[in-house]
Amino acid sequence: MEIKFETYVVMISFITSFFAVFLSNGIIIGVPAIAQDFAMNNVIQNWVPTIFFLVVAVFTVPAGQISGKFGVKKSLLAGIIVFLIGSIGACLSFSTETFLLFRIMQGAGVAFLNVSAMAMVVHAVPPRNRGKALGFTVTGVYLATSLSPVICGFLVHNLGWRSMFYFVIPFLVLCIILMIVKIPQEWKTYQDDKIDKVGSILYGVGILFFIYGFTALITTPGKILTVLGIILLVIFGAYELRQRSPVFNMNLFRNKKFTSSNIAALCSYIAIMVVTTILNYHFQYVRGWNAQMSGLILIITPIIMAIMAPNTGKLSDKVHPQKLAAIGMGIATIALLILTFLTKDTPVYIVVIAMVLQGIGMGMFSSPNMNAIMSSVPPKDAPTASASQATMRTIGQTMSLGLLTLIFAWIMGNLELSTQYAGMIIQASQTICAICTVACVLAVFASLVGVKSKDKFNTGR
């Protein structure tokens, strides 16, 4: 049976999305072992996942213009290769510095991978099947989110943390082969544009200052960097509006459906990303479970997301996607509210109920919201829209983990995370979940604004 070209595109997007998330999410399970191996305190330990998302956020916007100019396929292939080199280097790391260096390389690769994979799906798949195809891509994300705690928990517990990185290598090689052999087409939408170097630098430095400062907001340098970051991002926005070939087309935000969906995505990732880490800390440091046991129970939420994502994506081709997104985030809000009251004595079944609700809510939100973003712009702007949704995701994820670092540093100082300080871990976790509940509510309102907007979705090629 001959496999259609579109199927290969979706397959590659699925695999790359899976393994980009596999390490970014699964590494949370391995962080305690990595921290012990390299003698990290809790602040440096929290930077193991955070630095990855920070780098992704810095490179994602330039990746949109670069992939549009030089080709979506070339950019995706380059991203996979850089990600592969970073993964091999992480396996061979011998110190905190070398390990974090290769995490930076992984982040740069994933930035191009995220943008190009999504843009390739939009270009290759007809609009009538776009939500379904994007739903399968989101399924890859959620399957990775669900399976990575289990697989990484097993690997870390039995083979050590380095085995997580060895595990992804053959799959990345497979993606490279499929790209070369099965995807002859190339897509260029900005080939006549000049690379906006100044805009890229303004954005990169601005987002770097903002997020790094945010993680240290309780200090004076942190406050200064956060303010400087905001100022640079405002300057970036004003500068882009005057450019003929901007690195990011700010005029897209004139479309209220595009803007509201991006805001909803940002708020949702701020709210949700940190939950896995909070629950992992709760299981390992408060309840005293091992990494393997923690990974097994953490599978509940993402496996529900993985089941729902392709179905809600397909549904969003027929029903207003932002209506589905608003309902989904409403359910997720209830889940976060439950976790706000999480203590050592909370029955496990209550935690499971919250995880199930979170899975249902995010499963209803993510695919429709992504479809809303990608369908609210002309096809030629698919790389920019892809960069936008990837940027919202990575900024939200990084701010979420930055919030984790900020609150834990505020409550625990430089103490190491251990069962000895379970009370402080609970206090920090409750504070974070309360803040994330508010972010969920904001995502609901943003989606509803998009529903009421008179702007139209694009249904052309």
Residue 432 confidence (pLDDT): 92
d(CA 343, CA 376): 43
Alpha-carbon dihedral sign for residues 410, 415, 417, 418:
negative
Nearest to 65 by CA among 220, 203, 189: 189
Return the CA Rg of the chain: 21
Cβ count within 10 A of residue 165: 22
d(CA 270, CA 332): 12
The answer to whether 63 and 116 are in contact (CB under 8 A) is yes
* CB-based burial label for 44 (10 Å; 0-12, 13-18, 19+): middle
Strand positions, DSSP E, 225-281: none
Residue 140 CA, chain-centre distance (Å), reads 12
Residue 318 dihedral angles phi and psi, to the nearest 5°? -115, -35
d(CA 123, CA 354): 37
Residue 1 confidence (pLDDT): 43
Reading the block at residue 304, the tokens are 């529900």
pLDDT in tens, the chain (461 residues): 456 777 788 888 888 888 888 887 778 778 878 888 887 776 677 778 778 878 888 888 888 788 877 888 888 899 999 999 999 998 888 888 888 899 999 999 988 888 888 778 877 777 667 677 777 777 777 777 667 777 887 888 888 888 888 998 999 999 899 888 888 787 777 777 788 888 889 988 998 888 788 767 777 888 899 899 999 999 998 898 888 888 777 888 888 888 888 899 899 988 887 888 888 888 888 888 877 777 778 778 877 887 887 788 778 777 788 888 899 999 999 999 999 998 888 898 999 999 999 989 988 888 888 888 877 877 777 777 777 877 787 778 777 877 887 888 888 877 777 777 788 888 888 999 999 999 999 999 998 887 887 766 654 44
Distances (CA, A) of 109 to 63, 175, 192, 230: 10, 14, 25, 26
| DSSP code, position 380 | G
* Lookup result for tokens 């972010």: 439
Show the CA angle centred on residue 143, arms to residues 48 and 148, nearest 5°: 35
**Runs of H (alpha helix) within 39-182:** 42-70, 72-91, 96-124, 130-159, 163-182
Percent helix, strand, coil in the chain, to 5, is 80, 0, 20
d(CA 446, CA 264): 5
Distances (CA, A) of 226 to 138, 219, 307, 351, 415: 31, 11, 39, 34, 25
d(CA 220, CA 344): 34
Residue 455 confidence (pLDDT): 64
Residue 146 confidence (pLDDT): 66
Residue 234 confidence (pLDDT): 92
| CATH architecture of the domain formed by 5-196+243-452 | Up-down Bundle (1.20)
Spans of all domains in the chain = 5-196+243-452
Residue 153 confidence (pLDDT): 79
- Amino acid identity, position 401: L
**Terminal CA-CA length for the chain:** 28
